Chain A
Amino acid sequence: MTTTVSPVIAQQPGQDGKPGITYRQAGERAVLVEYGEMEFDLALNFLVLAAKDALDEQPPTGLIETAPGFRSMLVSYDPFALSSTVLLDHLQSVHDALDPDRGITIPSRVVHLPIAFDDSETRAAVERYIHSIRADAPNAEGGTNIDYVVRYNGLRDREELYETALATEHWTGFIGFFPGLPFMFPLDPRDAIFVPKYNPTRTWTPEGAVGIGGPCYAIYPVESAGGYQLIGRSLPIYDVRARNEVFRENPLLLRAGDRVKFHRVTEEELLQQFEQVHADTYRYRIEDATFDVGAFLEWTATVADEAEERRRRREEAASSTPVP
Chain B
Amino acid sequence: MRSLEIVEAGIQATVQDYPGRRGMQAQGFFPAGPMDHLAHRAANLLVGNPFSAATLEITLGNFRARLDAEATIAVCGAEAQVTVDGTDVAVWESHEVPAGAELAIGIAPEAGFRFYLAVDGGFDVPLLFGSRATYTMGALGGLDGRPLQEGDRLPLGEPGASGRRGLAPGVRPEYSREWDVRVVRGPQAAPDFMTEADLETLFGRAWPVDPNSNRTGIRLESHKFEWARRSGGIAGGHPSNILDNSYPVGAINVNGDLPVILGPDGPTAGGFVVAATVTHADFWKIGQFRPVGDTVRFREVSLEQAVEADRALDESLTDASVEAAA
Contact = CB atoms under 8 A, between A and B. Distances in A.
A7 B212 CA distance: 30
A203 interface: yes
Size band of the B side of the interface? 35 or more
A222 B26 contact: no
B279 A227 contact: no
Interface string B144-187: 01000000000000000000000000000000000000001111
B270 A227 contact: yes
B218 to A, nearest CB: 13
Interface stretch (B86-94, B135-143, B286-294): B135-143
A213 interface: yes
B186 A225 contact: no
A28 B280 contact: yes
A178 B302 contact: no
B274 A214 contact: no
Nearest to B23: A65
A38 B250 CA distance: 24
Contacts of B83: none
A251 B212 CA distance: 29
A27 B278 contact: yes
B306 interface: yes
Interface string B39-61: 00000000000000000000000
B28 A177 contact: yes
Contact of A197 (B212, B236, B311): B236
Interface stretch (B9-17, B62-70, B253-261): B253-261
Interface in A104-159: 152
B222 interface: yes
Contact of A175 (B27, B188, B231, B250): B27
B81 interface: no
B318 interface: no
Residue of B29, B222, B311 with most partner-chain A CB within 10 A: B29
A216 B271 contact: yes
Interface in A184-226: 194-201, 203, 213-216, 221-222, 224-225
B76 to A, nearest CB: 23
Contacts of B246: 32, 67-69, 72-74, 174, 176
Nearest to B306: A28
Contacts of A79: 307, 310
A203 B301 CA distance: 31
Contact of A199 (B186, B187, B203, B238): B238
A15 interface: no
B138 A240 contact: yes
21 contacts: A5-B191, A6-B189, A7-B184, A24-B186, A25-B186, A27-B277, A28-B306, A32-B186, A38-B242, A40-B234, A65-B24, A65-B26, A74-B246, A79-B310, A176-B244, A177-B268, A178-B138, A199-B240, A199-B258, A215-B235, A240-B145
Interface of B: 22-29, 137-140, 145, 184-192, 203, 212, 216-217, 222, 231-238, 240-251, 255-258, 260, 267-272, 274, 277-280, 299-303, 305-307, 310-311, 314
Given A28-B279, A176-B28, 11 more contacts: A1-B299, A6-B192, A26-B187, A27-B248, A27-B251, A64-B23, A67-B269, A79-B307, A196-B241, A201-B256, A227-B270
Interface of A: 1-9, 24-30, 32, 34, 38-40, 52, 64-74, 76, 79-80, 84, 152, 174-181, 183, 194-201, 203, 213-216, 221-222, 224-225, 227, 238, 240-241, 251-252, 256, 318, 321, 323-324
